[in-house]
């Protein structure tokens, strides 16, 4: 992957360091992720903005916790004490004040109150960013008693702010990058695989909090293209992918070379090496592979030929279906290998209508990728 994401040396060192940590802790990871916080896509909030967020989240989480423990009579006292120290009435927005009033007036279920109470994990992240605690982890709940001591330790906003030792951007992004990879792991392998290693609720809250603190916007990636270079043995080629897809090299024990995946799981594209061939064998080998699909129960809905000035041989595209599974498959010839690129078609597309498939969002993405493929240039 080249530096379309504007990875500087700090970004690269940070990524290498976190991948080593994931390997050490036996946590699944993608080496080439695009949805990650990098210097060029982030801007850390000011110290004051982070303090304000911390205080707001503390009031919301504490109010919810008191309501859960049937100590609602203490909520008003808590709000008064924190306001006298930090003038939080001037910090809370109308939306924040309405939310706290709704909590006091019992307008939420116990499950909803529990969700609000977990904002204490966001407070913990802010305390770490501000240098008021030594570290945070993503597997055990934060120490609420210790957080309470810190919040009530200071007499004023100025005293609190003077005690802060804001961490560097690199240190903040290093932690955020690691948590982003934890966040991906839960969506890729699920809770059971990570049991005893990470807590999903904590990871989710930490991820959301860091996104706010770093002003990180994933949407800024969607208009970017990432250039991928695949090289192994005698097979080498380049291609471009949209910024919302992640890139993964697959096992050496499979003919599948690499996969592209979106974080939401709605897109998955796989490249498979069908073997070393001579250029004149292309049509015969493609036809033979299509017959294997049909023999295994797939229905061929349609096929047609594409041409790219970047490839010596034509590209053959087929649309096939078996049960609820529909695939776009593209055959192309590069570095004397026959490669097939398979892409899942969206479930909402009626795959019985071949012509409708040609206009799908997935197909447009596929075509952008397939027409960018070229042999590695030296």
The whole-angstrom separation of Cα 299 and Cα 325 is 10
The whole-angstrom separation of Cα 296 and Cα 285 is 17
**For residue 349, what pLDDT is reported?**
41
| Token code pair at residue 54 | 């911390």
**For residue 351, what pLDDT is reported?**
41
Per DSSP, the chain holds a count of helices (H) and strands (E) of 14, 10
Within a 10 A sphere around the Cβ of 109, how many other Cβ atoms? 9
**For residue 283, what pLDDT is reported?**
94
Bridge partner residues of 245 (DSSP): 262
Strand arrangement, sheet containing 256-262: 245-249, 256-262, 268-276, 337-344, 325-334, 315-322, 299-306
Residue 64 has, within 13 A of its CA and on its CB side, a CA count of 22
Show the CA angle centred on residue 358, arms to residues 354 and 361, nearest 5°. 125
pTM: predicted TM-score of the whole model, two decimal places:
0.65
DSSP 3-state of 37 = coil
**For residue 360, what pLDDT is reported?**
57
Domain residue ranges of the chain, discontinuous segments joined by +: 1-221, 225-375
DSSP 3-state of 23 = helix
Burial 220-253 (b: 16+ CB within 10 A, else e): ebeebebebebeeeebbbbbbbbbbbbbeeeeee
Rounded (10°) CA dihedral 209, 213, 218, 221 = -150
Q: What is the mean pLDDT of each run of 10 residues along the chain (378 residues)?
A: 65 94 89 82 93 97 96 93 96 95 95 96 98 96 96 97 97 96 82 82 95 78 70 84 77 76 74 91 94 91 86 88 84 93 64 45 80 77
Residue 19 has, within 13 A of its CA and on its CB side, a CA count of 12
**For residue 253, what pLDDT is reported?**
57
Superfamily covering domain 225-375: Mog1/PsbP, alpha/beta/alpha sandwich (3.40.1000.10)
DSSP code at position 350: -
Q: 115: burial class by Cβ within 10 Å (0-12, 13-18, 19+)?
A: middle
**For residue 45, what pLDDT is reported?**
94
The whole-angstrom separation of Cα 281 and Cα 94 is 70
């Amino acid at each position: 992957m080249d530096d379309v994401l504007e990875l500087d040396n700090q970004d690269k060192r940070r990524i290498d360091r976190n991948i080593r940590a994931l390997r050490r802790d036996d946590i699944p990871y993608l080496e080439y992720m695009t949805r990650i916080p990098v210097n060029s896509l982030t801007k850390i909030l000011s110290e004051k903005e982070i303090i304000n967020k911390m205080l707001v989240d503390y009031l919301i989480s504490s109010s919810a916790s008191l309501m859960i423990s049937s100590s609602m009579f203490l909520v008003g006292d808590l709000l008064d004490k924190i306001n006298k120290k930090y003038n939080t009435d001037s910090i809370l927005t109308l939306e924040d004040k309405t939310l706290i009033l709704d909590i006091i007036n019992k307008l939420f279920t116990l499950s909803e109150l529990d969700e609000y109470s977990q904002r204490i994990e966001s407070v913990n992240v802010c305390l770490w960013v501000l240098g008021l605690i030594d570290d945070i982890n993503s597997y055990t709940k934060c120490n609420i008693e210790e957080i309470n001591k810190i919040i009530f330790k200071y007499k004023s906003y100025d005293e609190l702010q003077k005690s802060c030792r804001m961490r560097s951007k690199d240190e903040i992004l290093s932690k955020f990058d690691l948590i982003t990879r934890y966040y991906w792991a839960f969506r890729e392998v699920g809770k059971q695989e990570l049991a005893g290693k990470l807590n999903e609720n904590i990871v989710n809250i930490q991820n959301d909090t860091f996104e706010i603190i770093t002003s990180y916007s994933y949407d800024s990636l969607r208009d970017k293209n990432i250039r991928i270079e695949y090289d192994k043995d005698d097979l080498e080629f380049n291609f471009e992918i949209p910024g919302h897809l992640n890139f993964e090299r697959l096992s050496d024990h499979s003919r599948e070379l690499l996969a592209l995946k979106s974080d939401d799981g709605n897109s998955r594209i796989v490249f498979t090496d069908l073997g070393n061939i001579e250029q004149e064998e292309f049509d015969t080998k493609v036809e033979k592979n299509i017959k294997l699909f049909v023999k295994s129960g797939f229905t061929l809905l349609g096929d047609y030929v594409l041409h790219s000035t970047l490839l010596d041989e034509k590209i053959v595209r087929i649309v096939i279906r078996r049960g609820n599974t529909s695939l776009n498959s593209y055959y192309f010839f590069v570095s004397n290998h026959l490669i097939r690129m398979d892409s899942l078609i969206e479930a909402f597309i009626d795959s019985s209508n071949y012509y409708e498939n040609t206009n799908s969002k997935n197909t447009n993405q596929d075509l952008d990728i397939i027409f960018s493929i070229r042999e590695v240039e030296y």
